[in-house]
Chain A
């Protein structure tokens, strides 16, 4: 009995999805030159973006290195406190994110 009900539901579902598919039978894929142009533009955008990100990375890295060397030279105690605080903050942040994600997945 339960199997019959399930089968009926699955038949309805397949029929509904086939009708939905049929609604979009008339869509035509983009033309070949349009796809080529889209991919070329996207590849160029990605290249520019990664170059920009690399520059930003170097800039931030140099800036941080400069600060670290300055603090190490002038206030070594603060330097060692920061050395301990940053990994702890990162671990705490990671744990909170994991906890939130699990809770969201559980709710779903």
Chain B
């Protein structure tokens, strides 16, 4: 973390609202891009980014610097996402999932870029597996760190990553046939 970020955190913890706003603005793009990949739904990513900022405002005094600020944001955002999905009905989950993936696919197509099969397969993974695969193999977190983020045991995370990769492999093989 840069000295500037540390200074902003310190000021935000002392109640400086503009320092908090600056800190959140600095991390907004990172947070939004993480949420796009985790949710595969741009509008949900935007809603969750706003919810994360609000939660961050409430909890900033509890941030103790044991992880980087961006990891802290990922933790808050992931837990909010899991919590929100838990409250959705199964049909709503399916509908939003399809709608979100369609919005991303449209963005690719509108720019004349080919939609990737691996992203399609990733968007169909159950949430716990998708988040575990993403955090492990794209963001490079350890199983233990992911366990802390999603509040589960490292062994469970390991089996989610393994099941996720197995499912991706299977879907890609089926597409090749």
Binding site for B on A (CB under 8 A): 5-6, 9-10, 12-17, 19-21, 23-24, 27, 29-32, 35-36, 38-40, 42-43, 46, 104, 108
Contact = CB atoms under 8 A, between A and B. Distances in A.
Interface in B76-102: 86
B126 interface: yes
Interface range, B side:
35 or more
Interface of B: 17-18, 20-22, 24-26, 28-29, 32-33, 36-37, 50, 53-54, 57-58, 86, 104, 107-108, 111, 113, 116, 118-119, 122, 126-128, 133-134, 137-138, 165, 168-169, 172
A108 B104 CA distance: 24
Given A29-B29, A42-B54, A20 B168 contact: no
Given A13-B137, A16-B116, A24-B32, A108 B25 contact: no
Q: Is the interface of B mostly helix, strand, loop or mixed?
A: helix
Contact of A9 (B20, B108, B128, B169): B169
A27 B119 contact: no
Contacts of B54: 39, 42
